[in-house]
Structure 1
Amino acid sequence: MKITDEQRRARLVARHFASAPTVEDVVSSVLALHATDPASVYLSVLARARSLTIEDVRAAMYTRRSLVRLMAMRRTMFVIAHDDVPTVHAAASLGVARTMRTRLLKQVAAGPTEPVVDDVDAWVAAVERDTEAALRAAGTATGAELSNAVPLLKTAFLPTTDKVYDVKRYVTSEVLTMMAAEGRLVRVEPRGAWTSRRHAWAPVEHWWPEGIPILDEAEARRDLVRRWLEVFGPATFDDVQWWTGWNKTQTRAALAGLDLVEVELSVGEGMMLAGTVFDSSGPSVMLLPALDPTAMGWKHRNWYLGDYKKPLFDTFGNIGPSIWVDGRIVGGWAVSPSGEVVTELFEIVRPAEVAAEAGRLTDVLDGSAVVPSFPTPLEKKLRGR
């Protein structure tokens, strides 16, 4: 069966850009929000749910706690629906956590550290125990606050070369990130503005009194890839493996448990779930933020990106703010230092609607400056940097 790019773009618009009444509905429509940039979480929602506000997004994450921030696929930060966390945790986060633990133990054992660590296993057991105790006592705390309360978190890796980047660094961030990936801590509201990256931490019991429910990892991977194909299919094997961050064996095993239909795509052989519906959709204009889940949903992107990779992506493969018309990228945008959304179209398509959406986002931002963690050529140009 052949599926055209036009069909894929129409399904993308219907699935990813449908108007949603709640923050939770937006997250469901794209499965998970990229959360490396805190501002992108808000802007990904507000692009799709135009009646909502920044406060609505904050309330979903930090008041209702219906959304949870965690490190998962590809060792990337995501915001996930509370009820989906056990599946994502088992399917992706635990594998990331094992890799992080192995790396941390090797680094501490290899040294040099300050102070010297003679018994690595005893050291890591103590730092985890003391960190959990300090966090339960505090309720919530930043990494800096925890390191002041737990001296072992100030264990430092010392430089071994004269390279500029080889500097003394504390284990605080690596320990906390590893413990969160294992499901013991959760990132909570940052200190400062909604764009701040200074997240605090809280015990996982604030969300799950008995801890995140334990699921079989193989079954969780199958359930996650089914959910992904519902949102992002049809797609190629490479798309699935790239998005999940699994190895080929894990990817094949997860797909083997699903009722799939083989399809021919413009980028090669692909697959979709049996019964996949290709919805018709009306015209759409979207201004999506850096690292939006739609733009970062597939490895093979020509069918919606075309020849516009160079101005929109950095050298590490991270996309900046992008303008979408009818399921394909036609330009980019940025937020000026004054808080105005400025745009550039590569093609002159529906410019009045693009300008209107830029004006709406300017009003939503209300003067807030938004600078992506990974600036891209066009974003820097439009921002005047």
Structure 2
Amino acid sequence: MVITARALNRSTLARQLLLGRESLDVADGVRRVVALQAQQPASPYVALWNRLSGFDPADLDTAVAGLQAVKATLMRITLHLVHAEDYRAFREAVEPTLRGSRLGDSRFTASGLTAADADAVVPDLLKYADGPRTTAEVRDWLAERLGVPIEPVTWRMLRQYAPLWHAPVGGPWSFDNQQSYLAAATRPVLADPDAAAGGLQTLIRRYLEGFGPASVADMAQFALVQKARVRAAVQALDTDLEQLEGADGTVLYDVPGAPRPAEDTPAPPRLMAMWDSILLAYADRSRVIPPEYRKQVTRINGDVLPTLLVDGYVAGVWRPVEGGIEASAFHPLPEEVWQGLAAEAESLTGLLADRDPRAYGRYDHWWRKGMPAAETRLLPGG
């Protein structure tokens, strides 16, 4: 079966709850979309606002405080918010990547520590972090335990490898720059090829449920794992997956019964979060981002700006400003689309008002450097 590029776009939107907000509680919403990019504290809130009807940010506060939704270093060696029940398999899936990239990094080994040292200290670290521990507390503990000074970069490599969750610290978005850490309640098996293989099979199934159909390259990009590992996992799943063909002949895989809407299914406008997962989940990002706009959206240092989604595709960027949302379209938009974006902006500014009206304000420098746009409008807040 051949599936068109536009039908792939609609499949992504359906599975990511972007064809229409759905009535789900926060924990179920997090699980449905698989993983939310969380290196910017406001983004999981904006992401769920885009996807859930009647979203109340206090519900996400509660899920995070109750450790139903947990924040940790996972896919692509970056911070994600995932359902606690998904954490163990996801962490085992990316174990080889995290182990090689963190414990093998010259910034870690320059301290004189080795992977064997990390293996020896992690179990005791997890016992020490049975309750929230600040960065200062953990670095002091490690220095005493290991007998060497723990520089910030050494600690960063180790904490990104160790199965630690970020402990909520309050503030407008549950997390802020004053980070605390907590041992994962569901402990992954580390440095075990069988556990890693089983975890990757689980992650691939969950990824396809939330982002499929997708190619081996897409799956490898999403998780940042070797393509050979993905191919082996796909082969092991075998009859559990369906095989399709993309318009360019690429082999795609999917889970049976997953939604694949018609390519002419209407897609409402959305104001997507910074680093929203749909912008990063594929090797071929043209599924959502037109190639001519990719550099405007994904900046040279890796920042992925908040975007306008129009007819299912990135059409511009936005930022909160005094008085509402400043929306910059990369190409002319019909007036009815602007009206739809204005309605979204009114709702979004209401969400931000009680939390942080200038969320993402630290990234304004990208606008000061010049943002190519066919039209920019201030969409008034509610």
Q: TM-score range by the shorter chain?
A: 0.7 to 0.9
Partner of 2:360: 371
Partner of 2:33: 30
Partner of 2:15: 15
Partner of 1:252: 231
> Which of 248, 261, 272 is residue 279 of structure 1 equivalent to?
261
Task: Say whether the 8 Å CA contact 1:339–1:365 is kept in structure 2.
Answer: no
* Amino acid of the structure 1 residue aligned with 2:359: V
Partner of 1:357: 344
Shift of 1:364: 0.6
> Which of 269, 272, 279 is residue 288 of structure 1 equivalent to?
272
Cα pair distance change 1:255/1:125, threshold 3 Å: closer
Shift of 1:151: 4.1
Please give the TM-score of this superposition, normalised by the length of structure 1.
0.80
> Which of 251, 258, 262 is residue 270 of structure 1 equivalent to?
251
Structure 2 residue 197 is the aligned partner of structure 1 residue 197? no
Partner of 1:178: 161
Number of residues paired by the alignment? Answer: 352
* Amino acid of the structure 2 residue aligned with 1:52: F
Deviation track 1:268-302 (CA, whole Å, cap 9, x = no partner) reads 41312263542354431211111111121112122
Aligned counterparts of 2:46 and 2:182: Cα–Cα separation in 1: 25
Task: Say whether the 8 Å CA contact 1:34–1:293 is kept in structure 2.
Answer: yes
Structure 2 residue 133 is the aligned partner of structure 1 residue 141? yes
Task: Say whether the 8 Å CA contact 1:156–1:169 is kept in structure 2.
Answer: no
Aligned counterparts of 1:223 and 1:51: Cα–Cα separation in 2: 31
Aligned counterparts of 1:192 and 1:81: Cα–Cα separation in 2: 21
Aligned counterparts of 1:290 and 1:186: Cα–Cα separation in 2: 22
Structure 2 residue 94 is the aligned partner of structure 1 residue 92? yes
Shift of 1:262: 4.1
Structure 2 residue matching 1:11: 3-state secondary structure: helix
- Cα root mean square deviation, aligned: 3.2
Structure 2 residue 305 is the aligned partner of structure 1 residue 313? no
Shift of 1:216: 2.4
Deviation track 1:76-127 (CA, whole Å, cap 9, x = no partner) reads 1111111111210111146413542233662222xxxxxxx8xx68975786
The aligned runs of 1:182-261 (5 Å cut-off) are: 183=163, 185-190=164-169, 192-194=171-173, 196-204=176-184, 207-208=185-186, 211-212=187-188, 216-257=195-236, 258-259=238-239, 260-261=241-242
Shift of 1:54: 2.1
Task: Say whether the 8 Å CA contact 2:133–2:182 is kept in structure 1.
Answer: yes
Task: Say whether the 8 Å CA contact 2:278–2:288 is kept in structure 1.
Answer: no
Task: Say whether the 8 Å CA contact 1:320–1:375 is kept in structure 2.
Answer: no
Shift of 1:134: 4.6
Aligned counterparts of 1:121 and 1:308: Cα–Cα separation in 2: 41
Cα pair distance change 1:149/1:51, threshold 3 Å: same
Cα pair distance change 1:274/1:66, threshold 3 Å: closer
Aligned counterparts of 1:353 and 1:319: Cα–Cα separation in 2: 23
Cα pair distance change 1:310/1:170, threshold 3 Å: closer
> Which of 308, 311, 314 is residue 329 of structure 1 equivalent to?
314
Aligned counterparts of 1:354 and 1:141: Cα–Cα separation in 2: 42
Unaligned runs of 5+ in 1: 110-116, 158-167
The aligned runs of 1:90-169 (5 Å cut-off) are: 90-93=92-95, 95-103=97-105, 106-109=109-112, 128=122, 131-132=125-126, 134-136=128-130, 139-148=131-140, 151-152=143-144, 155-156=148-149, 169=152
Cα pair distance change 1:379/1:57, threshold 3 Å: farther
Task: Say whether the 8 Å CA contact 1:9–1:326 is kept in structure 2.
Answer: no
Structure 1 range deviating more: 325-334 or 351-360:
325-334
Cα pair distance change 1:372/1:24, threshold 3 Å: farther
Partner of 2:379: none
Partner of 2:380: none
> Which of 58, 76, 79 is residue 77 of structure 1 equivalent to?
79
The aligned runs of 1:329-348 (5 Å cut-off) are: 329-336=314-321, 338=322, 340-346=324-330, 347-348=332-333
Aligned counterparts of 2:259 and 2:367: Cα–Cα separation in 1: 36
Unaligned runs of 5+ in 2: 377-382
Aligned counterparts of 1:203 and 1:261: Cα–Cα separation in 2: 38
* Amino acid of the structure 2 residue aligned with 1:33: L
Cα pair distance change 1:224/1:232, threshold 3 Å: same
Shift of 1:266: 4.0
Please give the TM-score of this superposition, normalised by the length of structure 2.
0.80
Task: Say whether the 8 Å CA contact 1:333–1:379 is kept in structure 2.
Answer: no
Deviation track 1:48-88 (CA, whole Å, cap 9, x = no partner) reads 1241222211111112x111112112211111111111210
Percent sequence identity is 22
